[in-house]
Amino acid sequence: MEEIFNFIKAFILETVNGYISESADETTPMNEIEESNIVFGAVDLSRYSAKVVCAVVPESQEDDESEIGAYKIGSDFTVSFLCKGYPQDVLVRQMCRYGEAFRRAVLDDVSLGQRVERADIGRRDFFTDAGAVEKQMTAVETGLSVVTEDDIEI
């Protein structure tokens, strides 16, 4: 799972950030995700000063023998973008745009930069009031299924 997280992280830095930048306008600033703000697992936002943090949480994994000695591994993740530091109306727009930027990037490159066999976007859940204090943070959670191959010596 950690290796696949590293593939997702590289994809966010190399590809998704471009989609994020394109979605900014005069009313909604969009901050690119910095490497130090992409977290493997649940995130404690009190440790991050960034206005956007991305958490990649592993959910499940399943093997499928596709042919003798070759396995396909299906791995499910939840990829979350957590936004803070702006007025509520801006945070809601940002949440929607981060979700769409990630979705669009994956749909345009289902191999995540030729790192995996296939990636599929799942359900997106939006949280307009995700912070400890009312209206201080928003979040979008996206289901991501990734298929990789694992060759086994016989």
What average pLDDT does range 11-38 have in this prediction? 97
| Per-chain mean pLDDT for the chain | 92
Confidence of residue 122 (pLDDT cuts 50, 70, 90): very high
pLDDT confidence of residue 153? 55
What average pLDDT does range 105-121 have in this prediction? 97
Q: Which of 54, 57, 52 minimizes the C-alpha distance to 4?
A: 57
pLDDT confidence of residue 101? 98
Residues comprising the chain, all counted: 154
Q: pTM to 2 decimals?
A: 0.91
Whole-angstrom distance, CA of residue 92 vs CA of residue 82: 11
Confidence of residue 149 (pLDDT cuts 50, 70, 90): confident
43 C-beta neighbours (distance < 10 Å), count: 18
Distances from the Cα of 119 to the Cα of 89, 107, 127, angstroms:
32, 8, 24
Q: Is the pLDDT of residue 129 over 80?
A: yes
pLDDT confidence of residue 150? 76
Check: CB of residue 85 under 8 Å from CB of residue 136: no
Q: What percent of the chain stands above pLDDT 90?
A: 80
Check: CB of residue 105 under 8 Å from CB of residue 68: no
Check: CB of residue 37 under 8 Å from CB of residue 50: yes
